[in-house]
Chain A
Amino acid sequence: MDTQKLIESLTAEQLKTDMPRFDIGDTINVHYRIVEGDKERIQVFQGVLIARRGSGIRESITVRRIVADQGVERVFPLHSPKVAKYEVVRRADARRAKLYFLRDRIGKKRRLRDRRRGMKHVEGMSTVH
């Protein structure tokens, strides 16, 4: 077997298969497991998905939100077992793959357009990758 495929096959079982479909610009909820001592609780981080990078088990997402007027970005390994689940809150229209320009925007300009282009494509879109 091709070496690269062989290496990918080693991590195949750790890839998540039950993820909803989300694209750049969508507002998502990331349910993150936090272990405190022997107790475990879930923390929800809601924000705009501004970047997605890597592939396979290396893939990670960057989620940006505004906390107390301060921009906060968190990077999650997409397939991390620490992420309990992902939820799509709002779909938005983004014309580029990385929304780093949002970092320079202030106030209402931060908001992205709702996804109107090709709504059909949104409705008929599969919810799973």
Chain B
Amino acid sequence: MALKLLGQKLGMTRVFNEDGVSVPVTVISVGPCVVTQIKTEETDGYNAVQIGFGELKARNSTMPMIGHDAKAKTAPKRLHREFRTDDVSSYELGQQLGVDLLEQFAFVDVAGTSKGKGFAGVMKRHNFAGQEASHGVERKHRSAGSIGGHATNRGTGPKVKKGKKMAGQMGNERVSVRSLEVVKVDADQGLLLVKGSVPGANKGFVEISEPSRLYIGKAAKQKAKAG
């Protein structure tokens, strides 16, 4: 893992690229993130940088967290995340990390908390087809149907297989989207424009990180950009 920044999803719009094609983009307000802790091999067993982001009233924070952030000489932050890096020497406590760090990437990964859909049935949650409207179907039009008759984890048996798709909570969970194209980085306003959608509602917090893995075509573009 490498560089990770925190931001807030602002909304979506579109821009025309140089070919005149309309590109849907999500606007993310990134940082400034503050380095709140530096973990090293000697003290913590691994090398990592912890960053804080988001305003928070001191009375809504806790004394341990206020003290923790005070070590980096910053006001208490709402969110803290850490990313591993081999070399922590270039980071120092209280350092501000801005969106300009993302300029070197052609693609980024974005993770956020998806919009909660509540307790959803199988048709909405798992795209099941439901049952027929007539032909004797009564009050079961949106049901999953039989859940038995499938193999269990140990071959056939009396139990329902683990992980069987059923109704339940949908959304409000962590979702990552990988390899989103960086359309524009606006360092002045701290904005990042990525192609496509990003999980969560507007004003939701998102994590933006260096792409963990790219397809060959995208990797080539990244290489071209990095020079």
Contact = CB atoms under 8 A, between A and B. Distances in A.
A113 interface: no
A99 to B, nearest CB: 25
Given A3-B202, A10-B191, A57 B20 contact: no
A14 interface: yes
B13 A80 contact: no
A14 B15 contact: yes
Contact of B20 (A6, A33, A56): A33
A6 B189 CA distance: 10
Contact of B13 (A33, A57, A77): A57
Given A77-B22, A80-B22, A7 B16 contact: no
Contacts of B20: 33, 80-82
A3 B204 CA distance: 13
A82 B193 CA distance: 22
A7 B27 contact: yes
A79 interface: yes
A10 B16 contact: no
Interface in A33-58: 33, 56-58
Contact of A4 (B11, B186, B193): B11
Interface residues of B, number: 17
Interface string B175-206: 00000000010100101010000000011000
A11 B15 contact: yes
B22 A11 contact: no
Contacts of A6: 10, 27, 189, 191
A33 B189 CA distance: 34
A57 B12 CA distance: 12
Contacts of A11: 13-15
Nearest to B17: A81
Given A33-B20, A80-B20, A7 B15 contact: no
Contacts of A8: 13
Interface of B: 10-16, 20, 22, 27, 184, 186, 189, 191, 193, 202-203
Given A3-B11, A3-B203, A33-B20, 13 more contacts: A6-B189, A6-B191, A7-B11, A10-B13, A10-B15, A10-B27, A11-B13, A11-B14, A56-B13, A57-B14, A57-B16, A58-B14, A82-B20
Interface of A: 3-4, 6-8, 10-11, 14, 33, 56-58, 77, 79-82
